[in-house]
Structure 1
Amino acid sequence: MSLSKQVILITGAGGGLGSAAALALAQQGAEIILLDKSIPKLEQSYDAIVAAGGPEPMLYPFDLAGANEDEYLELAAAVQQRYGSLQGLLHSAVEFSSYTPLAIHKTQDWGHTLNVNLNAAFLLTRVLLPVLQNSDHAAIVFTSDSAARQAKAYLGAYGVSKIALEALAGILADELEAGGKIRVNTLVPGPVNSPLRKKSYPGEDKAALPTPDSLAAVYRYLFGAASLGVTGQIIDAKTFEI
């Protein structure tokens, strides 16, 4: 399933699932745009891809929560100018502060979490849609969370953002389906030994969990030819089979 000449932008590409996805897709020949606010982490992902023999990726330091709309438009213009088109967009960046009752949820934490997990995903998708539509086929993948898909106590802004993100993906998939160019799906990774998991379940034995690179096959599927025509779906990595 070669992804040669496919350009895929990945948010949160400096670590966790984002960097694992970047490496997996680059190993199939994709040219990756690595987007994260941490330059050292971006450089680590860059080095891993180059060491594995993947195409040289593009580094784009970017603060999803702090950037204004003009900066998002500048990002889209930079992608358009360098590549002309975009074949994939993976929303992997995530913000989680803590499990918190709504009664004492800090306004700042609420706003920041929604900005990273939901508002940034909307705005980045919106500004990149024209670049994605320059491709014959393109894929947008949002990342949800099996633990946050129901309205459970103490999930706070994180839970709200993930529930809303799935709705955003569904609405977008429905709007774009008639065009036949852009497929939109949501990935539910399940429990994975990632930085987010370490923060949300600090007492858990992480050695028993799958590593982020265990998701390589599902990322290849979602951005590869095998998923052409598949849109508006929620893909659970735990039950995924090609």
Structure 2
Amino acid sequence: MPLNNHVILITGAGGGLGGTAALALAKQGAQIILLDKLIPKLEAVYDRIVAANAPEPIMYPFDLAGANENDYLELAERVGDKYGSLQGLLHSAVEFSHFTPVSQTSTKDWGQAISVNLNAPFLLCRVLLPLLQKSTHASIVFTSDSSARAAPAYSGAYGVSKIALEGFAKILAEELEATSTIRVNTLIPGPVDSPLRKRAYPAEDKTRLPAMESLASAYLYLLGPQSIGITGQTVDARTFHL
């Protein structure tokens, strides 16, 4: 159980990729903090982890877009009080509704996407860094998109936020490389049969896509001991091999 004594917080843990990561990591002994705004989805992932005889996770209902700075600070304080330190932080939450021309994007939709996809990862990193720094080794993993660097038309605030998120990950990795043992990397899941993919491409034949569970080895690598010393990298799951 390579992740025994690892406490890992996962945002969007009630979603497809977040839930997949939570189960894969928990099966390797990790204590998972499930963070999501939808309690029924949190409960479903919780039940899957318990049914797998993995360490019982913690559910933490949290609205990344609606929370203020004090809410983030309270989250960090509660995690610190219960665990003392943190060994992993996986940013898996995502806000995407549909492809839209910039000219038709509402201010509300733009703000919501930027809040969840970019501002929330920044705030979480800032408040949780002290707990991550208490670990001998810790890992921060961001989730990007295979099309981010291409900046395709109609990707709107989602596309902008992913481009910015990759830049933020690089900056944070460089800042921490010389002063701590926290590694910072970005995962590109690629096209998989996920709820987000179904929403973005409803007419696509999903039987041709890999299952979400195919990402388990990438999550275990990035958040486990095998990636110690690897930082500032972008891992594409489509070409990833241990």
Per the TM alignment, residue 138 of structure 1 is displaced from its structure 2 partner at its CA by 0.2
In the alignment, is the contact (CA less than 8 A) between 1:9 and 1:35 conserved in 2? yes
The 2-side partners of 1:19 and 1:149 are apart by 26
After superposition, what is the alpha-carbon deviation per residue over 1:150-171, rounded to whole angstroms, capped at 9, x for unaligned?
2211110000000000000000
- Residue 38 of structure 1 corresponds to 38
- Give the secondary structure class of the aligned counterpart of 2:147: helix
- Residue 12 of structure 1 corresponds to 12
- Residue 219 of structure 1 corresponds to 219
The 2-side partners of 1:55 and 1:92 are apart by 20
In the alignment, is the contact (CA less than 8 A) between 1:150 and 1:163 conserved in 2? no
After superposition, what is the alpha-carbon deviation per residue over 1:190-227, rounded to whole angstroms, capped at 9, x for unaligned?
00111110110010011111111110001000011110
The 2-side partners of 1:15 and 1:196 are apart by 9
After superposition, what is the alpha-carbon deviation per residue over 1:135-155, rounded to whole angstroms, capped at 9, x for unaligned?
010000000000222221111
- Give the secondary structure class of the aligned counterpart of 1:149: helix
Give the alignment of 1:40-79 within 5 angstroms: 40-79=40-79
Give the alignment of 1:120-159 within 5 angstroms: 120-159=120-159
The 2-side partners of 1:172 and 1:179 are apart by 11
- Residue 176 of structure 2 corresponds to 176
- Asked if 1:189 corresponds to 2:210, the answer is no
- Asked if 1:27 corresponds to 2:32, the answer is no
CA RMSD of aligned residues (A): 0.8
Unaligned stretches of 5+ in structure 1? none
In the alignment, is the contact (CA less than 8 A) between 2:221 and 2:227 conserved in 1? yes
In the alignment, is the contact (CA less than 8 A) between 1:13 and 1:35 conserved in 2? yes
In the alignment, is the contact (CA less than 8 A) between 2:22 and 2:32 conserved in 1? yes
In the alignment, is the contact (CA less than 8 A) between 1:185 and 1:233 conserved in 2? yes
- Residue 84 of structure 2 corresponds to 84
Q: Percent identity among equivalent residues?
A: 69
- Give the secondary structure class of the aligned counterpart of 1:110: helix
- Give the secondary structure class of the aligned counterpart of 2:150: coil
The 2-side partners of 1:97 and 1:48 are apart by 27
- Asked if 1:228 corresponds to 2:228, the answer is yes
The 1-side partners of 2:94 and 2:172 are apart by 20
In the alignment, is the contact (CA less than 8 A) between 2:12 and 2:92 conserved in 1? yes
In the alignment, is the contact (CA less than 8 A) between 1:86 and 1:134 conserved in 2? yes
AA paired with 1:4?
Answer: N
The runs of at least 4 aligned residues of structure 1 exceeding 4 Å deviation read: none
The 2-side partners of 1:230 and 1:180 are apart by 13
Per the TM alignment, residue 90 of structure 1 is displaced from its structure 2 partner at its CA by 0.1
Per the TM alignment, residue 100 of structure 1 is displaced from its structure 2 partner at its CA by 1.0
In the alignment, is the contact (CA less than 8 A) between 2:133 and 2:180 conserved in 1? no
Normalising by structure 1, we get a TM-score of 0.99
AA paired with 1:42?
Answer: L
Unaligned stretches of 5+ in structure 2? none
- Give the secondary structure class of the aligned counterpart of 2:193: coil
Aligned residues: 242
In the alignment, is the contact (CA less than 8 A) between 2:15 and 2:93 conserved in 1? no
